[in-house]
Structure 1
């Protein structure tokens, strides 16, 4: 079916060249829509994640220019280092101020990505104050209220305030897209957004399935022995990941002379603390973030891929690393609550095992089990790859986004009937 080309404005704090997290999807959406003939303009922040320092050469912002598609404008804003709740609020507010002051042109539809919540609120307020009132949709990658509650980042009163802001922002949007059915349930049932205005569009894998024949060479390049089981955690090292559990599992493996190597690859606000905690443990290796090709080789070379979450984390986010993990053909072990979104993803895909969070012994046992049982490991790894093909296709996601943005562009913004509790100019 032919789709009319649109002028699409994308607003999001995280974008390429950030190597992980939400950046991959915001960049992928902008590039994908541009490749399909839409005119895409992006306002984004300074590349700073996951290291929480502005990438060299980006301190003052940049603009790729009107002749590019997508046109990408990096706006300057505060970057907290190390991050704190107050620092993140200041970052979102300064980025929101930049969005409010920017020249958006005349878009047919606007897609605002949250996180960041406060800058999304500023964008909605700007829409409502403009004469034309362009329709704006919010794409929800993480749930703020649940996030601060589940990670303990803010106390009860602060968590309630954040949930009220989140509710107001999402009720103010013309359309909402979420990345999981459980997100939709929360947005509708707890935040009061009307079900017909909420669409589920799954995140996709941005990597092609890996060539398993290259595994031996990749493993040699990292110096990992054939007779050890390598369990790799890739991506952000933050509070939500609670990677002390992996360090404790590595220490247990060392004390019992287990042929297991735990590898933490990436960066984040907890990395220095983790390096200190893991110093001297022979069964632990820490690797800095790698370029994309080497990152893929690391996923391929490992025996087991890890997701590790704090015991209180349940519904706040869908770890983006899972979509990459499933392309490797290796099994996943997720140390997470049995009722969490992450556990549901592993069980639905059939791509791995779920063990109790913050239990180093259970984590080590699961890694050893997959190291011994090659048939089970291969079965789980293949199931993850099949799930990628079946459910996590970028083409399918972009098809759904085109449909969603077409509906959004036809929305009579500012003339909705359900205006109680929404932002007004």
Structure 2
């Protein structure tokens, strides 16, 4: 098959949605499919175009037999609702001529749109009608719902228009997939026929991420950790949706506890603000984004993984970082409402408290720090869930089967 993918993020970004798009594209190429990707220069999670790339020029490269076309992108230095829209729009506009050429002239069998779907998908769908190829929309998060829930966009007339536009757009695609059961339920609410939907969850390579002895790693030596320390680790994007202010408040309440150490690793829009809030705290450490070859060691520094979420982001996204947490075989402490998919998963492998409840988070963390045997049981169950439900090969094989079936 000839497959064309349009996505905002792509490797060498190795966090967030770019990681999954890259692994999917490379896996399909290794299976013999001819895969091309239209994307941007890497900029995430630092929100700054990487030094070896240009924000203003088109570029081409081949990565693991995948042809990659990079389009100009405007990346704001400070984020706001309007700037986020312009950021996404800049890619949609710069990609338009490339999309037209690739679809009309190259005639791919299927075009997959991942992000930003509200801006990119209408043009892709229009051009695809001319060439009569199949179209597939994959939703990593509900851009529109998240924008209004998190307060990025507040005008109600705009909300009503955008919601109607989204419903029409979603129903125009041959297939629409998303990454969790709860997000699948939203597709039904938005009017997508069940026979046109497909559950395509994120995954984890359980051969790459696996349990290690923390004290036997080079990172463990770097941290100068002792077996008596209880490490509460957050690793990932530091953005608005994550609600990381809660961790700072928890660290403040536990500043006299010499055993519990908080480690926040990553980058993102709110990192600097978080560091300012925590500048007097000795029980919290910030680490830069670690290279991918150190990722397994990093995850295994944790005695418990922290997975905070803002209340208004529940079920609008399924945190991709959860797979790595599970595969590392460490227990998890998350904030989520009962009944959400995050809660249903984490309750098997740790504890869940209500979003924003600092007191409940502190109590849960203290319980975990003083119950080693229970944490070990949660960790074993976490690893089992990763192997049974998040296995990369199984998920991508099912996706490929559905992709081929859609061509018949």
The TM tier, using the shorter chain, reads over 0.9
Residue pair 1:150, 1:316 contacting (<8 A) in 2 also? no
Aligned equivalents of 1:311, 1:211: Cα separation in 2? 30
Please tell me whether residue 239 in structure 1 is matched to residue 240 in structure 2: yes
Residue pair 1:97, 1:122 contacting (<8 A) in 2 also? no
* Distance change >3 Å, CA 162–CA 232, structure 1 → 2: farther
* Distance change >3 Å, CA 161–CA 236, structure 1 → 2: farther
* Distance change >3 Å, CA 273–CA 378, structure 1 → 2: same
2:61 to 64, 71, 75: 64
1:43 to 29, 38, 44: 38
1:79-158 alignment, distance < 5 Å = 79-102=75-98, 103-104=101-102, 105-128=106-129, 130=130, 132-155=131-154, 157=156, 158=158
Aligned equivalents of 1:404, 1:110: Cα separation in 2? 14
Please tell me whether residue 389 in structure 1 is matched to residue 384 in structure 2: no
- Higher deviation after alignment, 193-202 or 141-150: 141-150
- How big is each residue's C-alpha offset from its partner over 1:359-379, in whole Å with a ceiling of 9 and x where there is no partner? 222222222222221111111
1:6-405 alignment, distance < 5 Å = 6-59=1-54, 60-64=57-61, 69-102=65-98, 103-104=101-102, 105-128=106-129, 130=130, 132-155=131-154, 157=156, 158-189=158-189, 191-208=190-207, 210=209, 212-218=211-217, 219-254=220-255, 256-347=256-347, 350-405=348-403
2:406 to 405, 408, 419: 408
Residue pair 2:209, 2:324 contacting (<8 A) in 1 also? no
Aligned match of 1:416:
none
Unpaired segments ≥5 residues, structure 1: 1-5, 411-425
* Helix, strand or coil at the partner of 2:257: coil
* Distance change >3 Å, CA 213–CA 264, structure 1 → 2: closer
* Distance change >3 Å, CA 272–CA 225, structure 1 → 2: same
* Helix, strand or coil at the partner of 2:313: coil
**Residue 277 (structure 1) shift:** 0.8
- How big is each residue's C-alpha offset from its partner over 1:242-280, in whole Å with a ceiling of 9 and x where there is no partner? 1110001001111x4352111111111111111111111
Structure with the bigger RCO (C-alpha within 8 Å, sep 6+) is 1
* Distance change >3 Å, CA 225–CA 68, structure 1 → 2: closer
> Please, what TM-score do these two structures have when normalized by structure 2?
0.93
* Helix, strand or coil at the partner of 1:236: coil
CA RMSD across the alignment? 1.8
Aligned equivalents of 2:19, 2:373: Cα separation in 1? 33
- How big is each residue's C-alpha offset from its partner over 1:179-236, in whole Å with a ceiling of 9 and x where there is no partner? 11111111112x1111110011221114536454542122223222322211011101
Residue pair 2:236, 2:266 contacting (<8 A) in 1 also? yes
* Helix, strand or coil at the partner of 1:32: helix
Aligned equivalents of 1:362, 1:43: Cα separation in 2? 45
Aligned equivalents of 2:20, 2:186: Cα separation in 1? 22
- Higher deviation after alignment, 261-270 or 80-89: 80-89
Runs of at least 4 residues off by over 6 Å: none
* Helix, strand or coil at the partner of 2:328: coil
Residue pair 2:8, 2:39 contacting (<8 A) in 1 also? yes
Aligned equivalents of 2:315, 2:172: Cα separation in 1? 23
Residue pair 2:333, 2:350 contacting (<8 A) in 1 also? yes
